[in-house]
C-alpha cells in the first residue's frame, strides 16, 4: 500500500523559511513523480511544485523563485524548501504522487499546516 507522510510545518514569520518533508513507502520511489499541493481556507487545493523521476521541476507562478522542490531517492523523501514566506502561503500542504496504469490514481498524505504570521 502507498503511504505518504508529511512533516515540517509550523508557524513562521513573514520573510522566514521552512522546509517540508514527505516520506513515501509502499512504492518504488525513484520511478515516481512527486508533487506538493496546498489548500488555504476557503480555497481549492492547488499545485505548488512538481518533480519528475528525472528531477525536472515545475512551480506555480506564485511560488516560483521562492520555493524549491527536491528529492532524495535513497531516503524515499521529497522536500519543499520555502523561502521569503508571506501570509498568502498559509495553507495545509499535501504531498502527492500518482500512477497511470490505464487510469490515473492519486495518492495523498495527511497534510501539514504552514502558518505565516507576525
Cα–Cα distance list, 1 to 4, 28, 75, 117 (Å) = 10, 11, 18, 37
Cα(14)–Cα(110) distance, rounded to whole angstroms?
25
Mean residue pLDDT of the chain comes to: 96
pLDDT over threshold 90, residue 101: no
The percent of residues in the chain predicted with pLDDT above 90, rounded, is 95
Q: pLDDT per residue over 11-69, tens digit each?
A: 999 999 999 999 999 989 999 999 999 999 999 999 999 999 999 999 999 999 999 99
Nearest residue to 70 via CA among 98, 84, 49: 49
Cα(118)–Cα(115) distance, rounded to whole angstroms?
10
pLDDT at 63: 98
pLDDT over threshold 90, residue 113: yes
Is 2 in contact with 76 (CB distance < 8 Å)? Answer: no
- CA angle in degrees (0–180, nearest 5) for 58-13-49: 10
Give the mean pLDDT of 106-117.
Answer: 97
pLDDT at 58: 98
pLDDT over threshold 90, residue 100: no
Is 114 in contact with 93 (CB distance < 8 Å)? Answer: yes
Cα(53)–Cα(77) distance, rounded to whole angstroms?
12
Phi, psi of 89 (to 5 degrees): -85, -5
Give the mean pLDDT of 85-91.
Answer: 98
The percent of residues in the chain predicted with pLDDT above 70, rounded, is 100
Amino acid at each position: 500500500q502507498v503511504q505518504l507522510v508529511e512533516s515540517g510545518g509550523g508557524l513562521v514569520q513573514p520573510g522566514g523559511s521552512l522546509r517540508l518533508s514527505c516520506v513515501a513507502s509502499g512504492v518504488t520511489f525513484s520511478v515516481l513523480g512527486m508533487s506538493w499541493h496546498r489548500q488555504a481556507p476557503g480555497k481549492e487545493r492547488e499545485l505548488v511544485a512538481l518533480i519528475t523521476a528525472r528531477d525536472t521541476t515545475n512551480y506555480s507562478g506564485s511560488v516560483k523563485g521562492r520555493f524549491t522542490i527536491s528529492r532524495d531517492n535513497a531516503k524515499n523523501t521529497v522536500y519543499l524548501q520555502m523561502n521569503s514566506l508571506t501570509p498568502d502561503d498559509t495553507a495545509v500542504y499535501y504531498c502527492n504522487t500518482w500512477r497511470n496504469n490505464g487510469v490515473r490514481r492519486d495518492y495523498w498524505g495527511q497534510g501539514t499546516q504552514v502558518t505565516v504570521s507576525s
